[in-house]
Amino acid sequence: MSASSPISPRPAFPIGERELIVMVALIQSLQALAIDAMLPGLPQIASELGVTNPNHRQLIVGLFMAGVAFGSLIPGPLADRYGRRRVLLAGLIFYILISVACALVTEFNTMLMFRTIGGFACASMSVVPSAVIRDRFDGDRMARLQSLIAVIFLIVPMIAPTIGQGILVIAGWRWIFGMMAVMGVLGFAWVALRLPESLDPANRQLIRPGVIAGNMAETFTNRTSLGYILASACPLGLIWGWVQCCEQLLGEHFGAGEQFPYYFGGMALFMACGNFANSRIVERFGARRVAHTALLVYIAVAALQVYLAHLPHETLWQFVPVMALNMMLSGFMSANFSSIALQPFARTAGAASSVQMFVRLVIGTVIGLSVGQAYDQTARPLAHGLLAAGLTSLALILWSERGRLFRRVIPPGMPRPA
């Protein structure tokens, strides 16, 4: 299927849909690499840099996420004015430089500073790809493509801890950052050589405080968009909380040890399966119907997680399948929530993507840091968080949809499915 199909007419685009999907996914996955490849090395990094509190090593991951969250307000308006391509290339340059800087640090606070700056500076790698997809596609088709992107994107969390573990054995933790820099160079070259500008010149926005504020304010005044943004932040925060404490929970509490990367990767595979399944059914049933069903099941599974966490001796094989199922359901929800929230903003997709990413990531970061720092050598804080996230998301979507679930909304100009 070409990028200029009759379903969503656009001017001719020089690269094909498949290449665009893979490119966007791999650029976004560089940020996942900066998080997940660290996980096996956190104990070694903490030991070498003199960290005594085991929960403090989570900040290497958590502050990078916080940097991405707060940095996400900036690239969207810039991309609406100067184009998607330039802003994305600038973010890749910062990603490369900060990776090299982290590889050379000798003190823990300096590491945290560079990680925070790095997340802030390369936030465009999460914001701009969403705007590129919105430039090209609409409605449930956009949700389908977002799911396909997520499938490719989630390959990185599956293999990144194993890659990090291998680098630790061969060369030490500093070369994890070296590997990130090399991947950043390859991503920069691909975008520079192959990605055309997707922003319609007629949609270029002015860099004026009033214009930017007005474009961003539209997101907060659109009830549908705001409800889905806030709803998507809750399960995202629990995924981030899980990432921050998973090495301690799986590796230490449940005794996975050196097998931790394989368990982590296998559970990420379930999330990828959820996104792939969503890509196959969303155009037939609609993003709302699929996402709402997944959310209700998510709440039921989270309730089971709470029950298991309060057993006297929860085992690894009780925890892993249920957590994997919750991650799979998150895969059904994330792409659909994001697509529904971004749908109303064709002319200002960059600013809308920035605001939505900012709100989602800030709330997700706060939730994630809270869950991670609440770790108490049991799965209970995580389980309670999963249930609270599901119930809160349901309340927000009911508010957004004025009490009605499972509606099918067809954007103007798009044919109804057979």
pLDDT score at 292:
94
Instruction: Using the predicted structure, report yes or no on whether residue 29 has a pLDDT greater than 90.
Output: no
Pairwise pLDDT comparison (207 vs 148), residue with the higher score? 148
pLDDT score at 1:
38
Give the up-direction half-sphere exposure of residue 320: CA atoms within 13 A in the CB hemisphere. Answer: 18
pLDDT score at 310:
93
What value does the mean pLDDT of the chain take?
83
Mean pLDDT throughout 318-345? 85
Residue 351, amino acid = A
For tokens 């921050």, name the residue. Answer: 244
Residue range 390-414, pLDDT digits in tens? 999 999 999 999 888 887 665 544 4
DSSP string, 86-121: HHHHHHHHHHHHHHHHHHT--SHHHHHHHHHHHHHH
Residue range 274-294, pLDDT digits in tens? 878 888 888 788 888 999 999
Instruction: Using the predicted structure, report yes or no on whether residue 302 has a pLDDT greater than 90.
Output: yes
Residue range 46-78, pLDDT digits in tens? 989 988 887 788 889 888 988 888 888 888 778
CATH for 17-194+208-400, options being 2.60.120.10, 1.10.10.10, 1.10.1450.10, 1.20.1250.20: 1.20.1250.20
329 vs 387: CA distance, rounded Å: 13
Answer whether 367's CB lies under 8 Å from 385's CB: yes
pLDDT score at 408:
65
pLDDT score at 200:
74
pLDDT score at 295:
95
Instruction: Using the predicted structure, report yes or no on whether residue 372 has a pLDDT greater than 70.
Output: yes
Instruction: Using the predicted structure, report yes or no on whether residue 417 has a pLDDT greater than 80.
Output: no
What is each CA distance from 37 to 130, 156, 297, in whole angstroms?
24, 9, 30
Instruction: Using the predicted structure, report yes or no on whether residue 322 has a pLDDT greater than 70.
Output: yes
Residue range 137-164, pLDDT digits in tens? 766 677 777 777 777 776 776 788 888 8
Q: What angle do CA 88, 128, 141 make, to 5 degrees?
A: 135
Answer whether 372's CB lies under 8 Å from 55's CB: yes
268 vs 128: CA distance, rounded Å: 24
- Identify the CA nearest to 272 among candidates 148, 110, 125: 148
The percent of residues in the chain predicted with pLDDT above 90, rounded, is: 27
Residue range 350-363, pLDDT digits in tens? 667 777 778 888 88
Mean pLDDT throughout 368-381? 87
Q: Is the pTM of this model over 0.95?
A: no
Helix axes 209-221, 75-82, angle to 10 degrees: 120
Residue range 224-274, pLDDT digits in tens? 888 898 998 898 888 888 888 888 888 888 888 778 888 888 888 888 888
Answer whether 159's CB lies under 8 Å from 265's CB: yes
